[in-house]
Amino acid sequence: MQFESSTLIDASAAHIHSIYANVADWQQWDPDVKSASLDGSFVSGASGIVVPHGGPKSKIVFTRVTPNQGFVAQCKLPLCVMRFENELSTSAGATRATHRVTFEGLLAPLFGRLIGSGMKNTLPKALASLKAYAEKTAASARK
């Protein structure tokens, strides 16, 4: 089961990647995140903790971090893996950000209905918030 949403952001991929890398501030732009932390640097293999609004604290592992292109992270659930793919690509002088959530494993259909249905609705909101935050902070950095 998979959910995906995209938006164009008037900011460089490098700037958006720096926002992703600042895991402790994810709640500044992601309305689903109550708090987040990272053990060490934002690199492939790193791990951290994410506390969503209305959900339990979860360990997150960054399976792939590619500067200026995005990252893949995952949380383990009982008999299921919830994967987050955040991709960046240049498009007509802006950056296209695509966020995708995938549930895989024996209980993927169950978690897809329990958790995924809410994420399907909030992915566009998170991207709209990321767009506003990235464009505001990019404009401030240019001044």
Domain annotation covers residue 143: no
Domain annotation covers residue 36: yes
Domain annotation covers residue 99: yes
The pLDDT of residue 104 is 95
Domain annotation covers residue 48: yes
Domain annotation covers residue 88: yes
Domain annotation covers residue 67: yes
Q: Which two tokens stand for residue 85?
A: 């793919």
pTM equals 0.91
Phi/psi of residue 78, each to 5°?
Answer: -55, 120
Domain annotation covers residue 68: yes
Edge-first strand listing for the sheet containing 80-91? 2-9, 94-104, 80-91, 70-77, 58-66, 47-52, 33-39
The pLDDT of residue 94 is 92
The pLDDT of residue 16 is 97
Domain annotation covers residue 29: yes
Q: Total structural domains in the chain?
A: 1
pLDDT band at 143 (very low <50, low <70, confident <90, very high): low
CATH number, domain with residue 44: 3.30.530.20
Provide the residue range defining the domain that includes 132. 2-138
The pLDDT of residue 141 is 66
What's the pLDDT tens digit per position in 40-67? 999 999 999 999 887 789 999 999 999 9
